[in-house]
Amino acid sequence: MEKKRKGNWRGGWAWVSLFSILIGALILLLGSGKAEEGRFVYTVRVEGIISASSADFMVSSIKRAQRDGAEALVIELDTPGGLDISMREILKEMLGSSVPVIVYVFPGGSRAASAGVFITLAAHIAAMAPGTNIGAAHPVNMGGEKMDKTMAQKVVNDAAAYIRSIAQQRGRNVKWAEEAVRKSVSVTEKQALELHIIDLVSPTLGDLLSKIDGRTVKTPQGTVVLHTKGANVRQLEMSFRDKVLKVISDPTIAYIFLILGFYGLFFELSNPGAILPGIVGGIFLILAFFAFHSLPVNYAGLLLIIFAMILFLAEVKVMSHGLLTVGGIISMLLGSLMLIESPVPSLSISRLVILVAVVITAGFFAFVVTKGIRIQMKKPTTGKEGLVGEVGVVRTRIDPEGQILVRGEIWTAFCEVPVEVGQKVRVLDLVGLKLKVEKV
């Protein structure tokens, strides 16, 4: 009996041991699978001007790559430049990142100009696709206002010192970097590789990740060896908030919101109690001013547009036979052209949109003015003025007084000559409650 129990115990132990071995093997397999799956690279696509919305997106992407433990963050870049303050926010995050940041000017036909040069040079690894270019980083006043010589020199010197510091930190061509700022030089991807501005030229993202595998980069937290070959590529998309901010930050969209906002308030003030136009107009105005916060706005242009809307509203309240409307149209046109005047085409308002907005506004208020003038010239239909000139029919003989039917009403009338029943008379005046008439 004792032997049987001992045999059962040994058999049970064998099964437990086997089960433990299987569980351990399964854990190892799952662990190795997770480790393999854990090697991933984040990629983000940045196109258009570097604005507040794109800066928020890039900064949040770098932070997420650090938080999630990505092998690297690849920024696919195509930009004509953008705002200096937004660029510096991005650069501070890139230079302090513990995760390698790779800037890839991609696809063919893309460029890294102005602020894009700074961003590319600040990358741990800089790459370009065939058919791309980089350069022309000379600072310009996005507001379009001409800087005096001393101020322009200060701005250029500041930008040159900044880009030299970045190029030195990343071991790139310092001389060319300074010339990109001072002389606006620009080069192709092949020239950039020869001049040691970038690290490599690669036609595809997969090829890029294979080529940089095993490379060593320096971060503030220490040296990092890249393991990007075969790593999973995960695309980071803009959040709904960032997408909305990007759309709003477009100068043309911001201008449209501004005009729609003023129209909403105009209709609310001219028709008090409508409520909906006021609510919609207020929302559009808030969105427009939010966008202007990150755009080079000329406040003289903004004041001219506000003044134009005041003139339009005054035209409705005080009929000026079109003079206020003409003044409003001129003020609106000048203000629209001055609102955002930038040497960067991407930061300018579409001239076609301005033309359409001014023409529609002019047409609308011309219609309002025309109707107003017609109403002023129209003969009154009520009161004393509405009766004078009307023709009525005699109901009882007038001699010198009698009754007539005019406009469906019975009136007492008097006339200088007798008038028989059935004859027609014309109203000359209203005296008290009696009509003075003449025989027709």
User: Catalytic site residues?
Assistant: 114, 154
**Other residues' Cβ atoms within 10 Å of the Cβ of residue 375:** 9
Residues 6+ apart with CB under 8 A from 153: none
CA distance 415 to 112: 93
Tell me which residue of 210, 303, 372, 297 sits closest to 202, measured CA to CA.
210
CB-based contact 264:281 (threshold 8 Å) = yes
Q: Is 85 helix (H, G, I), strand (E, B) or coil?
A: helix
CA distance 254 to 259: 9
CB-based contact 290:272 (threshold 8 Å) = no
CA neighbours within 13 Å on the CB side: how many for 187? 18
Tell me which residue of 52, 46, 44, 47 sits closest to 254, measured CA to CA.
52
- The tokens of 319 are what? 């009929």
- Which residue blocks in 171-275 are alpha helix, DSSP H? 174-182, 189-194, 205-211, 240-248, 251-270
Percentages (nearest 5) of helix, strand, coil residues in the chain = 55, 20, 30
Handedness of CA 406, 412, 416, 418 (dihedral sign): positive
CB-based contact 387:435 (threshold 8 Å) = yes
Residue 389 DSSP code: T
CB-based contact 144:168 (threshold 8 Å) = no
Mutual orientation of helices 240-248 and 276-293 as an angle, nearest 10°?
A: 90
CA distance 11 to 193: 69
Burial of 230: CB neighbours in 10 Å, binned 0-12, 13-18, 19+: exposed
